[in-house]
Amino acid sequence: MQEKIRTYLQWKLPAAHNLTLSDFVQTAVGWSHEIYVFYANWQEDGRELRRGFCLRKDPGAGLLRELSSLKDQYRVLQALEPTVVPTPRVYWYEDDPSLLGGPFFIMEKVEGEATNPWSRAGKQVYAEAAKRGKLPRSFVEALASLHNLDWRAAGLDFLGVSGPGKDFALREVAKWESLIRQSLRKPEPVLTEVSMWLKANAPAVQRLAFVHGAYRTGNLMIKDDAIAAVIDWELQVIGDPLYDVAYVLSDLNREGSPLLSCIVEREFFLDYYQQLTGVTVDLDVCRYYEVLYMMRSTAFWLSASGLFAEGKSKDLRLARTAYSVPVVLDMAAKALGF
């Protein structure tokens, strides 16, 4: 793979001489895509150059199956480049499988860390940053920059725009139902009850915004206690900004930490976010979206374990998710009062 990437870069950088790759790492964090991070080193016009890159490749059997589109991700990042939203710059997209075996795109390697918040050490990193105070503010400001974005002007309406009222929530439920249908290997009556409840109780949207869909620590590159880039653009949608707010408020993303997303105090988050965006946070609507996230998580785990069961992946991490399904359904059942 490393040599194929080097050959590709040489083709895209024809003025580069003696191009080599260094610090080449395939990270293990991506569930939907293969991710490679590396530096390219070359000589050009008598100068020594070194540039960091990150490559995302479609493995052909990703967690989101056909709901994931690398091309859409590339277009989103392209559209965001001239905006205030901190994102990596993208360079090239290719859908020719003869190059690397599947579609891929290459973007800049943003300097910083996206520390995993689930480990004890990760929680400690974020707890210490929270005490210093700068990162929690940056966390809220980056989210507000997404929700305040003029998404039509940025050209993001290609993602599809929900109709007024309950359309956004119903479309999301339908989206995750479609992933469940592709993945389900046996009937799941608890999941059926959750889906039907979600359809019967869908909230109306106050306003439409550009929504990340998985805004949390771990999906944010951090440098000098500030958000250097929002990453992991797979679930973005034009929809209710409270969808992101609910994700931040959710217990799903703090695993015992008293801080939302392991980084920000609840009251500060709510006050500062509403001040920056003018959005009124309706906690009942957020509780609805939290149940929707539980349905979505169930869809992810059914899809992941299904890929393994179908023999499309040998990754034991996917197999393990079969045991997460009843745990998430238990959370949803408790949220619905049973």
**Where do contacts with another protein occur on this chain (CB under 8 A)?**
186-190, 192-193, 196, 199-200, 305, 308-309, 314, 316, 319, 322-327, 329-330, 333, 336-338
Q: What are the structure tokens assigned to 281, written together?
A: 């946070």
236: CB partners within 8 A, 6+ apart:
76, 159, 210, 211, 212, 213
| Least gap, CB of 37 to another protein (angstroms) | 20
Rounded to the nearest angstrom, the gap between the alpha carbon of residue 280 and the centroid of all alpha carbons in its chain is: 24
The Cβ of residue 145 has, within 10 Å, a number of other Cβ atoms equal to: 19
**Which of 129/307 has CB closer to another protein?**
307
Instruction: Yes or no: say if 109 and 203 are a contact pair by the CB < 8 Å rule.
Output: no
| Least gap, CB of 177 to another protein (angstroms) | 11
| Least gap, CB of 195 to another protein (angstroms) | 9
**Which of 139/308 has CB closer to another protein?**
308
**Which of 19/322 has CB closer to another protein?**
322
**Which of 1/327 has CB closer to another protein?**
327
> Environment class of residue 52 by beta-carbon count within 10 Å: exposed (0-12), middle (13-18) or buried (19+)?
middle
| Least gap, CB of 190 to another protein (angstroms) | 5
**Which of 137/199 has CB closer to another protein?**
199
38: CB partners within 8 A, 6+ apart:
2, 5, 21, 22, 23, 24, 25, 52, 53, 55, 109
Q: Which CA distances in Å does 262 have to 33, 101, 156?
A: 25, 38, 30
**Which of 297/305 has CB closer to another protein?**
305
Q: Helix H segments across the chain? A: 2-12, 70-80, 97-100, 120-132, 134-147, 167-183, 189-200, 241-249, 266-277, 283-309, 316-320, 325-335
Instruction: Yes or no: say if 254 and 146 are a contact pair by the CB < 8 Å rule.
Output: no
| Least gap, CB of 61 to another protein (angstroms) | 15
| Least gap, CB of 59 to another protein (angstroms) | 16
| Least gap, CB of 329 to another protein (angstroms) | 6
**Which of 11/323 has CB closer to another protein?**
323
133: CB partners within 8 A, 6+ apart:
none
Q: What are the structure tokens assigned to 257, written together?
A: 């930490």
Instruction: Yes or no: say if 259 and 139 are a contact pair by the CB < 8 Å rule.
Output: no
**Which of 153/196 has CB closer to another protein?**
196
| Least gap, CB of 258 to another protein (angstroms) | 20
> Environment class of residue 274 by beta-carbon count within 10 Å: exposed (0-12), middle (13-18) or buried (19+)?
middle
| Least gap, CB of 196 to another protein (angstroms) | 4
Go through the chain and tell me how many residues it has: 338
**Which of 177/234 has CB closer to another protein?**
177
Query: What secondary structure letter does DSSP report for 255?
Result: T
